[in-house]
Amino acid sequence: MFLIFIIVILMFAVFYVIISRFGVSSSDIDVSDTSTVNYIPKKFLSNNEYNFLTKFVDLENELQVNIVPQVNLASVIQKVSDSRFNTELFRNIDFGIFNADYSKLLLLIELNDASHNDYHRKKRDIKVHDICNKAGIKLITFYTKYSNEKEYVKSRIVKELDLQNNND
């Protein structure tokens, strides 16, 4: 019986060390029973995002670039800090344009609809622009309240890519 008690104590000690070492708190661990929760697939792109993408997707062939939807900042930006946490980088940007072999991010594109008028969303957008600016990554924004005709969208993107190429 004493041996079982010691083993249980050791297991709790190991668990505590793992949690404290890797920064996991009990609030980060979801122990809920997923058998009572339903999960369903959702659309990868919103209707606005899909319609917007169709306006400039042909730039992939024209400019020999790759357009990637739903780019997570943590995938393209590394935080240089003593802090272990990168939660501010866990934000998705609507589109990223990469060079042909994906070795360089050329441009990020945000498509803002009415939801971006919300106070918290505005704060998020300011934070994202600040992070991209500090990382030296160009981020441009289009607004769904405007027509964003195909030629306008393409010319603005090409202009931003040309400006960046001239600055390199």
pLDDT tens digits along 121-138: 999 999 999 999 999 999
- The answer to whether residue 8 scores a pLDDT higher than 50 is no
Hey, is 106 helix, strand or coil? Answer: strand
Query: Is residue 152 domain-resident?
Result: yes
* pLDDT band with cut points at 50, 70 and 90 for residue 116: confident
Strand locations in 76-157 (E)? 92-99, 105-112, 139-143
Query: Is residue 18 domain-resident?
Result: no
Give the span between the Cα atoms of 23 and 20, in whole angstroms.
5
Query: Is residue 138 domain-resident?
Result: yes
| 69-92: average pLDDT | 92
Hey, is 69 helix, strand or coil? Answer: strand
Query: Is residue 110 domain-resident?
Result: yes
Give the span between the Cα atoms of 157 and 86, in whole angstroms.
29
Is this prediction's pTM over 0.85?
no
pLDDT in tens, 45-59: 999 999 999 999 999
Look up residue 109 and give its DSSP letter: E
* pLDDT band with cut points at 50, 70 and 90 for residue 168: low
Query: Is residue 123 domain-resident?
Result: yes
Give the span between the Cα atoms of 46 and 154, in whole angstroms.
20
Run of H or E including 8? helix 2-22
Query: Is residue 102 domain-resident?
Result: yes
Q: Which domain holds residue 88?
A: 47-167
Q: Of 24, 141, 127, nearest to 77 (Cα)?
A: 127
| 89-104: average pLDDT | 96
Give the span between the Cα atoms of 103 and 124, in whole angstroms.
27
pLDDT in tens, 148-164: 999 999 999 999 999 77
CATH number of the domain where residue 106 is located: 3.40.960
Look up residue 30 and give its DSSP letter: -
Query: Is residue 57 domain-resident?
Result: yes
Query: Is residue 114 domain-resident?
Result: yes
Name the domain count of the chain. Answer: 1
CB atoms within 10 A of CB 67: 19
